[in-house]
Structure 1
Amino acid sequence: MDADDLEPRKKPQTQRNLDPMSIEELKDYILELQGEIARTQEAITRKQAVKMGAEAFFKR
């Protein structure tokens, strides 16, 4: 067994300190997060399509 197998898959993410950020930096951060949300939603859509395809194939 590898030592990496014992570590959790998800590592806790630390939150950014928003206090020192300017309004423009905060707006840019929001855009960055929205882009990441869109990318994540696209990944979910792709994975759901693959899952539905596999389920349809194995139901035959």
Structure 2
Amino acid sequence: MAAQDDDIFPARSTGDLPLGGDLSRLSEDELKERIDTLTAEIARVEAALASRGGVRAAADAMFRKKDN
């Protein structure tokens, strides 16, 4: 019985590589996939940050009105 390619060369997930990890073993396609994944994560974090800024501004405005 012949071994399956997946057994010899298991699929890698670029999401498994920690930030600052060794990139030398990743292919060009895997590096591009990692960039796409990280870019999407940056957008998600920026959206969360922006929404918190809106909540903060509303809270600040409410407390300023109360003090006057």
TM-score range, shorter chain: 0.7 to 0.9
RCO higher in 1 or 2 (8 Å CA, sep ≥ 6)?
Answer: 2
Counterparts of 2:19 and 2:42 in 1: how far apart (Å)? 17
Find runs of 4+ consecutive structure 1 residues off by over 3 angstroms.
Answer: none
Structure 2 length-normalised TM: 0.66
The alpha-carbon deviation at position 14 of structure 1 amounts to 4.8
Q: 1:46 aligns with which of 47, 51, 54?
A: 51
CA RMSD, 1 decimal: 1.2
Deviation track 1:5-45 (CA, whole Å, cap 9, x = no partner) reads xxxxxxxx652210000000000000000001000100111
In structure 2, C-alpha distance between the alignment counterparts of 1:14 and 1:30, rounded to whole Å: 12
Paired positions, count: 48
Show structure 2 runs of 5+ residues with no match.
1-17
